[in-house]
Amino acid sequence: MSHLEDQLKSALGRKEPAEDFAARVLRRVTEPAPRSWLDELTILLRPPRLQWVAASVVISIVVPFAAVQYRHEQQIRVQGQMAKQQLMLGLRIAGTELHHAQQQVQRISRMENQ
């Protein structure tokens, strides 16, 4: 009888846990539970939320429009710069030729005065 009591006492006696037991428990608690492939599939096939659908639609409209608008503005900027260069060149030539004509007139006037 006493042998049985000893065995029970030994089996039910208080045992101290390992030193890293608390840390291991806490780590398991914070870790997300691993999902099975079925869970992954379910998440993938779940209908999207309305706000995400709305956001996707807005982005798909706004982004191409903005890109086209940006490209158009770039083209106008390039065209405008080229036109400005042409304008400057045209006026430079016009001015040079006017100056040349003026010089010729002055030269002739001087010759007439002499």
Partner 1 sequence: MITKLCPLIMLFAALAPGQGFDIKRLDWLSASAHNTVDVTLEGPLLQLAAKFLSSNDPDEAKIKKLVVGLKGIYVRSFEFDKEGAYSDSDVATVRNQLRAPDWSRLLDVRSKHDGENIELFLRTDRENGGLAIIVANPKQLTVVQILGKIDLEELSELGGSLGIPKIEVEKASKAPAKKEHEE
Q: How far is the CB of 73 from partner 1 (least distance, A)?
A: 13
Indicate the burial class of 68 (C-beta count within 10 angstroms; 0-12, 13-18, 19 or more).
exposed
Q: Which is nearer to partner 1, 64 or 95 (CB)?
A: 95
Q: How far is the CB of 66 from partner 1 (least distance, A)?
A: 23
Q: How far is the CB of 96 from partner 1 (least distance, A)?
A: 7
The whole-angstrom separation of Cα 97 and Cα 90 is 11
Q: Which is nearer to partner 1, 8 or 101 (CB)?
A: 101
The whole-angstrom separation of Cα 92 and Cα 84 is 12
Sites of contact with partner 1 (CB under 8 A): 76, 79-81, 83-84, 86-102, 104-105, 108, 111
Q: Which helix (H) or strand (E) holds 36?
A: none
